């Protein structure tokens, strides 16, 4: 089913690829009665140093059809309605942004082995630490008056993430059913005969690959991204699904997992599809898992 759209505290320099440039996007403080809502899909705004793109309210089919290449058993399609629009990070949160909001890296420091620099995505952060970033950024912007009290930064739900990734498409990726090395940062085989090319075998700077139709970069590949939901074997459907506080299937060792999305630099292209979802325990970290944020109205 196609998607239907229902119709200066922290001052960062925006880092895009290997280029550092001041942004001209709006970043003025807002009064409580001012609207942060965008007008159309892909509208851009800068809030607290985070470049954001607007995802309008709408409905879509989450998951993958049975004939999709690389489809996994836990991608059975579900209809989802998102009743409110929201902003999502144009890029994955970077190492530079992490240091400005949180400070020190919580575990291993990023390195040139996996991608090092202010314009590279942050990794070696677990789910809890990613949520701390969102909480600290929200608190600072509420205090400064740049962000109204009824808005907050969070990790995206699974449905918010996939809706933004698809950007109106129903194909395996937002670029179609073919994915090549020139379109995303992955190291293995392309999808459905996509073009082969240079592989980095590490993260790439944000904005190194083309954006989807709503202006979002690296929704496919680069690093996996934490989602807000606990992992359930069945995709959440219905209206505004949010499984942050609803534990799903238990792992063999008795633990529970959160969801990670998007694939990474060390994967084949099939793992970078829009519907691809994997579990990961929230306490764990990795050299290829980071996050992007959403800004939502409470």
In 10 A of CB 173, how many CB atoms? 28
pLDDT surpassing 70 at residue 10: no
pLDDT surpassing 50 at residue 27: no
- Dist. CA 195–CA 10, nearest whole Å: 41
- Backbone φ and ψ for 96, nearest 5 degrees, come out as -65, -40
- Dist. CA 252–CA 193, nearest whole Å: 37
Burial tier of 142 (Cβ tally within 10 Å: 0-12, 13-18, 19+) = middle
Confidence at residue 9, expressed as pLDDT on a 0 to 100 scale = 40
- pLDDT category of residue 35 using cuts at 50, 70 and 90: confident
Which position has the token pair 């179609």? Answer: 176
pLDDT surpassing 60 at residue 58: yes
pLDDT surpassing 90 at residue 211: yes
Domains of the chain: 40-298 (3.90.1580.10)
Share of the chain above pLDDT 90, in %: 88
- Dist. CA 61–CA 81, nearest whole Å: 9
Confidence at residue 136, expressed as pLDDT on a 0 to 100 scale = 98
pLDDT surpassing 50 at residue 178: yes
Mean pLDDT, the chain, whole residue set: 91
- pLDDT category of residue 34 using cuts at 50, 70 and 90: low
pLDDT surpassing 80 at residue 23: no
pLDDT surpassing 60 at residue 268: yes
Mean pLDDT of 250-259: 96
Q: For residues 132 and 26, which has the higher predicted lDDT (pLDDT)?
A: 132
pTM over 0.75: yes
pLDDT surpassing 50 at residue 22: no
């Amino acid at each position: 089913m196609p998607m239907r759209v229902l119709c200066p505290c922290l001052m960062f320099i925006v880092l895009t690829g290997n280029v550092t440039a001041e942004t001209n996007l709006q970043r003025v403080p807002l009064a409580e009665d001012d609207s942060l809502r965008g007008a159309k899909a892909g509208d851009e705004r800068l809030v607290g140093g985070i470049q954001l793109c607007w995802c309008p309210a709408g409905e879509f089919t989450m998951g993958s059809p049975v004939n999709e290449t690389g489809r996994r058993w836990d991608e059975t399609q579900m209809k989802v309605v998102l009743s409110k629009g929201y902003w999502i990070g144009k890029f994955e949160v970077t190492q530079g942004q992490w240091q400005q909001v949180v400070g020190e890296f919580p575990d291993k420091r990023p390195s040139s082995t996996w991608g090092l620099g202010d314009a590279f995505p942050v990794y070696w952060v677990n789910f809890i630490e990613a949520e701390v970033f969102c909480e600290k950024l929200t608190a600072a912007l509420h205090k400064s008056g740049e962000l109204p009290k009824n808005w907050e930064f969070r990790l995206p739900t699974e449905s918010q993430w996939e809706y933004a990734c698809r950007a109106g498409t129903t194909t395996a990726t937002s670029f179609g059913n073919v994915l090549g090395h020139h379109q995303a940062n992955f190291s293995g085989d392309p999808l459905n005969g996509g073009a082969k090319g240079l592989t980095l075998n590490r993260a790439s700077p944000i904005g190194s690959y083309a954006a989807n139709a709503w202006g979002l970069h690296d929704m496919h590949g680069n690093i996996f991204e934490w989602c807000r939901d606990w992992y359930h074997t069945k995709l959440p459907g219905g209206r505004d699904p949010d499984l942050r506080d609803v534990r799903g299937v238990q792992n063999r060792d008795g633990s529970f997992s959160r969801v990670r999305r998007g694939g990474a630099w060390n994967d084949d292209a099939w793992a970078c599809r829009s519907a691809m979802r994997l579990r990961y325990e929230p306490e764990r970290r990795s050299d290829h898992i980071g996050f992007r944020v959403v800004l939502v109205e409470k």
